[in-house]
Structure 1
Amino acid sequence: MSQDYLKTALPSQIMSERGSNLVVINPGSANVRIGLASQDTPFNIPHCIARHTKQVPRRNVQDQMLNSQITTAQHMEREKAYDVIASILKIPFLDEEAPSNAFPRKMGRVDGHNPHIIRKDLPFSWTNVYEVASMSSALETSSKDVTSESLDPKEDTDSKELRLNERKFREFICGEEALRISPAEPYCLNRPIRRGHLNISQHYSMQQVLEDLHTIWDWILVEKLHIPRNERNMYSAVLVLPETFDNREIKEMLSLVLQGLCFGSAVVHQEGLAAVFGNGLSTACVVNIGAQVTSLICIEDGGALPTTVKTLPFGGEDISRCLLWTQRHHQTWPQIRTDILTKPIDLLMLNQLKETYCEIKEGEHEAVAVVHSYEDRAPAGSHKTRLTALNVPPMGLFYPTLLVPDVYPPPPRTWFNDYEDMLEEPWHMEYTRPDTFYPNVGGGIPMWESYPIFASKPKREEKVGLAEAISNCILSTGRIDIQRKLFCSIQLTGGVALTNGLVSALEERVLHAIPPNEAIDTVEVLQSRMNPTFVPWKGGAILGVLDLGRDAWINREDWIQNGIHVGSNRKYKDSYYIQAQAMCYLNS
């Protein structure tokens, strides 16, 4: 598009004309957000796949190669963190029982109190793992048998057993359906991304991870967006990737999109940068609280500041697990077998309860809720119960020892060496994996010279709470003028940002986390213009439309033949102009 056209056309006209052939993909550890740039919101789909398996013995979950028991030291640290939080919230300590009628109970309704959440006390149902065609034909045969008379009862029984044996299992199942498969069924659940990285381990090879990603994304493109493979050369893809990814992981994502999924062209945008444009801003400290990882980065005048990137190894799922631990400790959880390791459907339920009932507020916070039990293939059981201390789990963001990472820890770095070192710079190695799925794309090419944020790889995980991490992130800019601006421009993204009371709690704690020798006296979290879960995706859509046709875009043929040389740092040379267009779009 010409510059004159961009200056005169209406934003809605630009989005409808260019956005209809632009697919925006924002992958996360637990969910992937995919949609056409012309859509208001994307599809938000659990980032997992269950494959039919005949292996014996069978694992329910592919990356379940861990000890889920926490150590004594971790347990003591968790209890200590609980008591610190209880003191702040003015509620009884962990081993104290509140005196009866000492203060009024704050009981929530069964349908919850969070205005962002629709009523969700209905149980999940187990997924039908058989192919629909087989089931319908079996039903037709069964209905015919009802009308026909059988002279031999034994023969009738044998024929029914034969029909049951003829049912065919679905080869793979994606998205939420994969999480709702009974553990009794012959399926293994795979999660290709875990804690902000490709989920490579000695049990889950790089080839399998990439194949699972390809299958999930291809299924979404066909079933949700109705884009068949033979038409994808007419579409372009915008990859909005988290800052946690290493260079090699980004390169694999591009190969997946351009070669595996056959898009005509693609471009990479940083998640933090896209989030700023998604809210019509130019400068902000972006705090993305995902399901498994929290990442921070500062953006100044439409450009990322690489040295400010920080990663915290916890997110929304850890809050959900903490909710379960809290209820079990207080003995308010029903006597049911809740196990998020072997039954992912239980994690779906816990996430629902967290989203509906958890919030940050002082005083005792309890609610009457319906908890569901899921036993193998049996219908869900409902248990009306009183949940307590619902304001404690989200406070784990500030006191992370409460969120013990006792489930799915990251694999030891030595495992990566068995499947090509993900931490090597792509231009320092020959890309010669003998893989027919992704042919060689050539080595020795400085692909990422226009992406200094990726090249610097500041992937250090911080062992601090959210408030300290934000303070350290902003102060690392080293300039008082930008620091003051950033402390008043904190942007929260991710589903956890919808937690009631989080904004005020964050502002107060960040202010206290700033060292007294710093001349900062104001902290402000900016209100999001849309659901914070989708802000980075929307920013990717806006940037993709406005930036279409520039040097940063990579054509499929160029990538397949000899890799690509992106250009000379020209990607955001017109960042002020793009910013103005983004704000114009959001205000229209």
Structure 2
Amino acid sequence: MDYLKTVIPSQLVADRGSNLVVINPGSANIRIGLAPQDIPLNIPHCIARYTNQRPKFNLQDQMLNSQVTTAQHMEREKAYDTIASLLKIPFLDEEVANNSFPRKIGRADGYNPQSGKSVAFQWANVYEQDAGSSLALGTSRSKGITGESVEMHEGTGAEEICSGNRKFRGHIFGEEALRISPTEPYCLSRPIRRGHFNISQHYPLQQVLEDMHAIWDWILIEKLHIPHSERNMYSAVLVLPETFDNREIKEMLSIALRDLRFSSAVVHQEGLAAVFGNGLSTACIVNMGAQVTSVICIEDGVALPNTEKTLPFGGEDISRCLLWTQRHHQTWPQVRTDMLTKPIDLLMLNRLKESYCGIKEGELDAVAVVHSYEDGMPAGSHKTRLTALNVPPMGLFYPTLLVPDIYPPPPRSWFHDYENMLEDTLHMEYSRRPDMSDGLFSGISVGYPMWESYPIFSSKPKKEEKVGLAEAITSSILSTGRIDLQRKLFCSIQLIGGVALTAGVIPAVEERVLHAIPSNEAIDTVEVLQSRTNPTFVPWKGGAILGVLDFGRDAWIYREDWIHNGIHFRSGRKYKDSYYVQAQATCYINS
């Protein structure tokens, strides 16, 4: 204990965190790194595999996408006019009437600004380099993750496919996979979609798990330089979003312990980790990711399951809305831009959104360079004035503007089959420690996976909310039922995730949430706390802190136990989840 009284926090993290790998997977990106790092790697969570199938799909899940219906289009236009009224900008029909002629758009081939915002993405090199070289499969040549390369290592399953005297790369990962030309013989897969495993009739569970394993293994080898032979010296901290179901959590634990060969692993909730990442104890955590926005309240380091809300939209929907608004206002070049089927367009639109979109009153325009990516051709540059840049982010509060249904979550029918795959001990009763309350064990049976006993991780697929962000935050906080806690939470809202970087989002959330509180509630103050670090990395940092501070390691699962016994540990040790034990996401229960 003398050591703990004298050691400085950074030294404690360096001493105890050097062998901790913190993994925070999301629908679009995965944040991963060693606990002592200041910031993690932030890599697109995808893999492109060589394919010779015909007909060829550019995306594994593109059959799930749908078109905008007439009703959705009308709802979108109605939402635009509502937002225009709030922002004091012209209505949609007024804009069209005032712009009967297309705006002038010039091709900007010679345009070379100093800003990196206008640098075009380059098509990825899909061919092997010289076979005699040190197994390198080529490198990324664009702005983005530097040194993005793929090497063939034991366990990655990379293969060589000949094309004349050149060889196609078997696997391509990360941002480089998003920059593959649609004409190349590759199919892009994203293991997670809208906060769940991307399982469908076109993308079976086994393939999802194999792809996730391949991506994580490649990062560990190529980016963190942790080979298979040294994995047993490392432990994994899994910081998982609240959207995941119990089976998905179990499968990711299996990937970490069985496939990636970590010696031990622990699971922490993303919302809970975010509180620790910002040095708080009580807060309403609003996680605004690329495809899902979730809300959950934390009190004194304990997550409150009944406060969780999941909204099926995020930053990528705002990017898609940006494209729609520009096309409607005739500011977009006459080029084929489709972020649902051409991932490189998604990269471009995300960058435009991050650079120019914000929430403020009045008209918000900007001169920008839009790039066109035609099949295999060099990128074309088009200088144009983008308009109504403050409208797309307001879709957070008026989701009908975003039309998230055209990129729906994966079907959940596969989940119901799992109950028949459980072991014979499904309905067994078991004893518990006398110091644990009855409320923790109501309806629990041994055979269920970890988070079965709580409403937030129930055995049925979770229902997504069809409301705006302000209503979700208000409903989440008011569901706590205690006025003292409600007042504290309304003044302790924490925005995390990439969308939280949007200019003007903090005052917008404060204003919209205050208006959403019913008039009969005795609450008149709403405050969003400033994040101490990049909001994108707060949960990852919190996971690192939790991993370092967990001295007893009561919540950790060891590789041998998991492989040989699953959720049944030896004769008397059972693995179960508890939200209520020392703010841990999971714990052992000694029967």
Please tell me the TM-score bracket, short chain as reference. Answer: 0.7 to 0.9
After superposition, the Cα gap between the structure-2 partners of 1:423 and 1:29, relative to the gap in structure 1 and judged at 3 Å, is farther
* Structure 2 residue 239 is the aligned partner of structure 1 residue 240: yes
CA offset at residue 128 of structure 1? Answer: 0.3
Letter of the 1:503 counterpart: I
Shifted more, 4-13 versus 271-280: the winner is: 4-13
- Equivalent pair of 2:273/2:542 in contact (CA under 8 Å): yes
* Distance of 1:570 and 1:68 partners within structure 2: 39
Deviations 1:309-350 (A, max 9, x none): 110000000000000000000110000110112210000000
* Structure 2 residue 135 is the aligned partner of structure 1 residue 128: no
- Equivalent pair of 2:65/2:408 in contact (CA under 8 Å): no
* Distance of 2:418 and 2:500 partners within structure 1: 36
Q: How does 1:358-397 map to 2 (within 5 A)?
A: 358-397=357-396
> 1:179 is matched with which residue?
178
The secondary structure found in structure 2 opposite 1:530 is coil
CA offset at residue 387 of structure 1? Answer: 0.3
Aligned counterpart in structure 1 of residue 19 of structure 2, from 13, 18, 21: 21
* Distance of 2:337 and 2:372 partners within structure 1: 7
> 1:529 is matched with which residue?
532
- Equivalent pair of 1:248/1:426 in contact (CA under 8 Å): no
Letter of the 2:27 counterpart: S
The secondary structure found in structure 2 opposite 1:510 is helix
CA offset at residue 463 of structure 1? Answer: 0.7
After superposition, the Cα gap between the structure-2 partners of 1:558 and 1:257, relative to the gap in structure 1 and judged at 3 Å, is same
Q: CA RMSD in A?
A: 2.7
Aligned counterpart in structure 2 of residue 6 of structure 1, from 4, 7, 10: 4
CA offset at residue 95 of structure 1? Answer: 1.4
Letter of the 2:312 counterpart: P
> 1:413 is matched with which residue?
412
* Distance of 1:373 and 1:182 partners within structure 2: 12
- Equivalent pair of 2:272/2:301 in contact (CA under 8 Å): yes
- Equivalent pair of 1:77/1:402 in contact (CA under 8 Å): yes
* Distance of 2:97 and 2:448 partners within structure 1: 67
Q: How does 1:178-327 map to 2 (within 5 A)?
A: 178-327=177-326
Unaligned runs of 5+ in 2: 100-107, 109-114, 135-161, 429-444, 568-572, 585-591
After superposition, the Cα gap between the structure-2 partners of 1:500 and 1:259, relative to the gap in structure 1 and judged at 3 Å, is same
* Structure 2 residue 447 is the aligned partner of structure 1 residue 448: no
> 2:434 is matched with which residue?
none
> 1:465 is matched with which residue?
468
Letter of the 1:516 counterpart: S
Letter of the 1:127 counterpart: A
- Equivalent pair of 1:471/1:513 in contact (CA under 8 Å): yes
CA offset at residue 551 of structure 1? Answer: 1.1
- Equivalent pair of 1:52/1:187 in contact (CA under 8 Å): yes
CA offset at residue 7 of structure 1? Answer: 3.7
* Structure 2 residue 77 is the aligned partner of structure 1 residue 79: yes
CA offset at residue 453 of structure 1? Answer: 6.7
* Distance of 2:390 and 2:208 partners within structure 1: 37
Q: Percent identity?
A: 75
* Distance of 1:247 and 1:234 partners within structure 2: 27
Letter of the 1:241 counterpart: L
After superposition, the Cα gap between the structure-2 partners of 1:209 and 1:569, relative to the gap in structure 1 and judged at 3 Å, is closer
* Distance of 1:407 and 1:429 partners within structure 2: 41
Deviations 1:419-471 (A, max 9, x none): 746999998499xxxxxxxxxxxx94455379847544683211110001000
Aligned counterpart in structure 2 of residue 33 of structure 1, from 24, 31, 35: 31
Q: How does 1:28-67 map to 2 (within 5 A)?
A: 28-67=26-65
* Distance of 2:185 and 2:214 partners within structure 1: 19
Deviations 1:333-378 (A, max 9, x none): 0001101122100000000000000000111110000000001111
After superposition, the Cα gap between the structure-2 partners of 1:339 and 1:369, relative to the gap in structure 1 and judged at 3 Å, is same
Deviations 1:180-222 (A, max 9, x none): 0000000000000000000000000000000000000000000
* Distance of 2:419 and 2:384 partners within structure 1: 49
* Structure 2 residue 478 is the aligned partner of structure 1 residue 475: yes
CA offset at residue 230 of structure 1? Answer: 1.2
* Distance of 2:357 and 2:520 partners within structure 1: 35
Deviations 1:377-421 (A, max 9, x none): 11100000010000000000000000102433123333545x746
Shifted more, 14-23 versus 448-457: the winner is: 448-457
- Equivalent pair of 1:374/1:380 in contact (CA under 8 Å): yes
CA offset at residue 284 of structure 1? Answer: 0.1
Letter of the 2:81 counterpart: D
> 1:495 is matched with which residue?
498
* Distance of 1:519 and 1:26 partners within structure 2: 38
* Distance of 1:379 and 1:235 partners within structure 2: 43
- Equivalent pair of 2:427/2:446 in contact (CA under 8 Å): yes
> 2:157 is matched with which residue?
none
* Distance of 1:297 and 1:257 partners within structure 2: 26
> 1:336 is matched with which residue?
335
* Distance of 1:100 and 1:71 partners within structure 2: 26
* Distance of 1:332 and 1:32 partners within structure 2: 34
- Equivalent pair of 1:247/1:454 in contact (CA under 8 Å): no
* Distance of 1:340 and 1:135 partners within structure 2: 37
Shifted more, 4-13 versus 516-525: the winner is: 4-13
* Distance of 2:493 and 2:581 partners within structure 1: 24
* Distance of 1:135 and 1:535 partners within structure 2: 43
The secondary structure found in structure 1 opposite 2:237 is strand
After superposition, the Cα gap between the structure-2 partners of 1:217 and 1:379, relative to the gap in structure 1 and judged at 3 Å, is same
After superposition, the Cα gap between the structure-2 partners of 1:424 and 1:214, relative to the gap in structure 1 and judged at 3 Å, is same
- Equivalent pair of 1:474/1:487 in contact (CA under 8 Å): yes
* Distance of 1:130 and 1:224 partners within structure 2: 21
Aligned pairs, number: 521
Deviations 1:517-556 (A, max 9, x none): 1000100000000000000000000000111442100000
Unaligned runs of 5+ in 1: 102-109, 111-117, 138-162, 431-442, 577-588
* Distance of 2:186 and 2:38 partners within structure 1: 35
Shifted more, 373-382 versus 556-565: the winner is: 556-565
* Distance of 2:489 and 2:92 partners within structure 1: 37
- Equivalent pair of 2:451/2:458 in contact (CA under 8 Å): no
The secondary structure found in structure 1 opposite 2:32 is strand
- Equivalent pair of 1:288/1:492 in contact (CA under 8 Å): yes
After superposition, the Cα gap between the structure-2 partners of 1:269 and 1:58, relative to the gap in structure 1 and judged at 3 Å, is same
- Equivalent pair of 2:80/2:91 in contact (CA under 8 Å): yes
After superposition, the Cα gap between the structure-2 partners of 1:69 and 1:92, relative to the gap in structure 1 and judged at 3 Å, is same
* Distance of 2:46 and 2:425 partners within structure 1: 31
* Structure 2 residue 502 is the aligned partner of structure 1 residue 505: no
CA offset at residue 287 of structure 1? Answer: 0.2
After superposition, the Cα gap between the structure-2 partners of 1:449 and 1:177, relative to the gap in structure 1 and judged at 3 Å, is closer
- Equivalent pair of 1:304/1:453 in contact (CA under 8 Å): no
* Distance of 1:416 and 1:459 partners within structure 2: 11
Letter of the 1:49 counterpart: I
After superposition, the Cα gap between the structure-2 partners of 1:548 and 1:187, relative to the gap in structure 1 and judged at 3 Å, is farther
* Distance of 1:570 and 1:410 partners within structure 2: 28
* Distance of 2:174 and 2:263 partners within structure 1: 26
Shifted more, 60-69 versus 290-299: the winner is: 60-69
CA offset at residue 575 of structure 1? Answer: 5.2
